[in-house]
Structure 1
Amino acid sequence: MKFLFDLFPLILFFGSYKYAGSNQEAAHALLNGHLSGLVSGGAIPASQAPIIVATIVGILATAAQVLYLLARRKKVDGALWVSLVVFVVFGGMTIYFHDDNFIKWKPTIIYWALATAMLVAYRFFDKNLIRLAMEKQVQLPEHVWIRLHFMWITFWLVLGFVNLFVAFVLFKADNDAWVNFKAFGVTGLMLVFFIAQAFYLSKHIKDEA
Structure 2
Amino acid sequence: MKFLFDLFPVILFFVTYKVAKLNPDSAQALSQQYLGALISGGTIDAKQAPIILATAIAIVATVLQIVYLLARRRKVDGMLWLSLGIISVMGGLTIYFHDPDFIKWKPTLLYWAFALALLVGQLGFKTNLIRKVMEQQIKLPEPVWSRVGYAWALFFVLQGALNVLMAFVVFKNNEDAWVNFKLFGATGLFFAFIVIQTMMISKYIQEPEDA
TM class by shorter-chain length?
over 0.9
Please tell me the residue identity of whatever aligns with 1:130: I
Aligned residues with identical type, % of pairs: 55
Is 91-100 or 1-10 further displaced after alignment?
Answer: 1-10
Matched, 1:134 2:120: no
Secondary structure at the counterpart of residue 41 of structure 1: coil
Please tell me the residue identity of whatever aligns with 1:152: W
- Could you say which residue in structure 1 is the equivalent of 2:46? 46
Is 197-206 or 146-155 further displaced after alignment?
Answer: 197-206
RMSD in angstroms over aligned alpha carbons? 1.6
Q: Is the 8 A contact 2:140 2:206 kept in 1?
A: no
Q: How does 1:19-168 map to 2 (within 5 A)?
A: 19-168=19-168
How many equivalent residue pairs? 209
Q: Is the 8 A contact 1:45 1:98 kept in 2?
A: no
Secondary structure at the counterpart of residue 173 of structure 1: coil
Secondary structure at the counterpart of residue 75 of structure 1: coil
The one-character-per-residue Cα deviations of 1:161-190 (angstroms, maximum 9, x if unpaired) are: 000000000000111000000010001100
Is 31-40 or 172-181 further displaced after alignment?
Answer: 31-40
Please tell me the residue identity of whatever aligns with 1:138: I
Gaps of 5+ in 2: none
Q: Is the 8 A contact 2:121 2:127 kept in 1?
A: yes
Shift of 1:37: 3.1
Matched, 1:169 2:158: no
Shift of 1:31: 1.5
Normalised by the length of structure 1, the TM-score is: 0.96
If each structure's helix is expressed as a fraction of its own residues, which one has the higher value?
1
In 2, the alpha carbon distance for the partners of 1:12 and 1:175 equals 16
Gaps of 5+ in 1: none
